[in-house]
Amino acid sequence: MSRRVPYAPGPFPPRRPEQFPARPAARPGPGGLGDLTPQLVATDVWTEAMVEAAGIPIVDVPFVTVGSGIGSFVTVDYLRICGVPLEQIAVLGPQDVPWHSYEYLTRVSQIPRGERLRSDSASTPDNIWGFPSYAVREAWADKTIKPLWNVLVEPIFANYYTPKAGQAFESMEKECQRIGYLKCLHRGQVRMIRRRAGGGYFTILTPPQGSSPTKRVAFRSRWVHVAIGYPGIKLLPDLQAFRETYRDASKVVNAYESHEHVYQSLQRKPGTVLIRGAGIVASRVLQRLIDDRDALGLQTQIVHLFRTYYDKPHGPHIFMRRKGKDGWAYQGFNYPKSVWGGQLKARMRKLEGHDRAEAYKQMGGTNTPIRDDWQEQLARGRREGWYRAAVGKAESLVPGPGGQGVVTTVRVDPHAPIRQEHRPDGTFELYADYVIDCTGLEADVREHRLLRDLLDHTGAGINPVGRMDVERDFELKGTRNGDGKLYASGSATLGGYFPGVDTFLGLQIAALEIVDDLARQGFCKRLTPWRSTAQWWRWMNNKGVD
């Protein structure tokens, strides 16, 4: 068992922000007492004197995790199970509960609590052991063996089992209470992270207005973990141009932003919707449109624009083949299951540079799981003529005649397996009352203020696919400072040695790698078989960690 190393970077005992009064500033900066100064913003390595001169109070805590989402939650869960006291952990971020942002995205993309996520039975953020799994818990709660049978015969005789969104959120809430997660939470926005002279880091939090005597609070720590999720909503250039040119954000929407007004409008009068994208979100939006059509007797027409149309299995060779039909590429999960613990995971850990980027390219591409219910709906729509597919690249959007609706100009794909009428210049037009873009979330890490700041001021770099570059233990390359380490996990690290980072199980695997590395440095106890078994028993009985 490793000896825990005490952490004392400065003369101040560990205190929470609300216990730390604002100090008089020696030289108030132009932003006012307790705010960032131009000197701090421009400097890569800070001293205590610089922070104190700005009037910013300093809070000492060994480990800081930034984001306050599911990535922060699972990391704290591992640390607590490995014996780290609450007072040695600080969670910084805007979310009041870890699943807040994720639930918002699932809800607006038409996966409310009663619908099923794209996650397997053993990917349980509330339970690091994966047992009892979601299927076992659902079977027990509903007094049925159907979920167990589903897991037993998948994927040959049944589609993959996936849990309901509400089950995941409710189980995380229970674990939050068990480990005392909310006692570590300090709400606010993290403005920047800077290296500290002598080792470790300063993390600058902007608390909610009125909750702190100063505008900023500096957390001084030896270790920092960044898990901020996606940088933001991705709006394709032609969609963004339409919004900016015509000042209309109601007709062209992203599936990851609130767009309930589209469904409400279609309930009031018949209309046509253009769907762009072919992933899980596109399938869920289509299902919502068709459910409303069936339940309310609507006359909604749906046009589905595919950028690439698949009508048969495809892939580089027989051992890397993905099913395809009716335009869709089918796959149970975001990546082949072996990336989470099989041969593909082992292979990816050995690849560097171009070879790793090429492997990601082979595994990548938009895909969605096979779900019998919405496949039946689309087949019916094709037969009855109210659902039709188009293939090509959208080039521009303009308002329809009289300002009604949107006209999309599409450049035809000459290789598409379906015949499409087009003009001599190779384009055709699609009219719709609304356009719903389901192409995904923003991937450019520089779109996020904190990630951009890390790249500009801490030595962090970009990996072969354009995200944050991390080591095999999820340390951000180039950011080590003395005995301090800066880690990152989640979607911002896609392209590293572990592909499945943006999943429940991927966040858990990343947390395990980080906590194992922290144990090697003496911060926490190792998760030995004996400790793991004992802590699992406490989890089963809903007792706190020890």
Q: Above 90 in pLDDT, residue 197?
A: yes
Mean pLDDT calculated for residue range 499-523: 94
Distance between CA 136 and CA 149 in Å, rounded? 10
Mean pLDDT calculated for residue range 517-541: 96
More confident residue, 150 or 403: 150
Q: Which domain holds residue 36?
A: 32-111+165-231+443-545
CATH of the domain at 417: 3.50.50.60
Mean pLDDT calculated for residue range 120-143: 95
- Weakest mean pLDDT among 125-129, 175-179, 230-234, 341-345: 230-234
389 with 516, same domain: the answer is no
Q: What percent of the chain has pLDDT over 90?
A: 70
Tell me, yes or no, whether 120 lies in a domain. Answer: no
Q: Are 252 and 274 in contact (CB under 8 A)?
A: no
Q: What is the dihedral of CA 446, 451, 453, 459, to 10 degrees?
A: -100
Please give the model's pTM, rounded to 2 decimal places.
0.90
Distance between CA 124 and CA 509 in Å, rounded? 11
| Predicted local confidence at residue 164, as pLDDT | 95
| Predicted local confidence at residue 333, as pLDDT | 80
Mean pLDDT calculated for residue range 295-301: 97
466 with 451, same domain: the answer is yes
- The pair of structure tokens assigned to 152 is 């037993």
Mean pLDDT calculated for residue range 52-64: 96
187 with 240, same domain: the answer is no
- The residue from 423, 442, 461 where one domain ends is 442
Tell me, yes or no, whether 520 lies in a domain. Answer: yes
- pLDDT tens-digit series, residues 373-382: 888 999 999 9
104 with 196, same domain: the answer is yes
Q: Above 50 in pLDDT, residue 210?
A: yes
Instruction: Report which of 255, 266, 256 is spatially closest to residue 302, judged by C-alpha positions.
Output: 266
Q: Above 50 in pLDDT, residue 101?
A: yes
Contacts for 84 with CB less than 8 Å, ≥ 6 apart: 63, 523, 524
The number of domains in the chain is 2
- pLDDT tens-digit series, residues 424-483: 999 999 999 999 999 876 668 888 999 999 999 999 999 999 999 999 999 999 999 999
Tell me, yes or no, whether 519 lies in a domain. Answer: yes
Which helix (H) or strand (E) segment is 128 a member of?
none
Distance between CA 441 and CA 491 in Å, rounded? 10
- pLDDT tens-digit series, residues 512-528: 999 999 999 999 999 99
More confident residue, 126 or 367: 126
245 with 217, same domain: the answer is no
- pLDDT tens-digit series, residues 334-375: 777 788 888 888 888 898 998 898 888 888 778 888 888 888
Tell me, yes or no, whether 129 lies in a domain. Answer: no
259 with 226, same domain: the answer is no
C-alpha separations of 10 from 49, 53, 100, 280 in Å: 12, 16, 35, 49
Mean pLDDT calculated for residue range 222-233: 88
| Predicted local confidence at residue 318, as pLDDT | 73
Tell me, yes or no, whether 183 lies in a domain. Answer: yes
499 with 398, same domain: the answer is no
- The residue from 391, 408, 442 where one domain ends is 442
Distance between CA 189 and CA 94 in Å, rounded? 6
Distance between CA 425 and CA 406 in Å, rounded? 21
Which helix (H) or strand (E) segment is 49 a member of?
helix 48-53
- The residue from 389, 410, 442 where one domain ends is 442
Tell me, yes or no, whether 296 lies in a domain. Answer: yes
Q: Above 80 in pLDDT, residue 22?
A: no
- The pair of structure tokens assigned to 116 is 């099923």
Q: Are 453 and 193 in contact (CB under 8 A)?
A: yes
Q: Above 50 in pLDDT, residue 26?
A: no
407 with 447, same domain: the answer is no
Distance between CA 431 and CA 165 in Å, rounded? 34
294 with 420, same domain: the answer is yes
Name residue 366's amino acid: T
Distance between CA 114 and CA 122 in Å, rounded? 19
DSSP state of 368: B
424 with 485, same domain: the answer is no
Tell me, yes or no, whether 410 lies in a domain. Answer: yes
Tell me, yes or no, whether 381 lies in a domain. Answer: yes
256 with 397, same domain: the answer is yes
76 with 211, same domain: the answer is yes
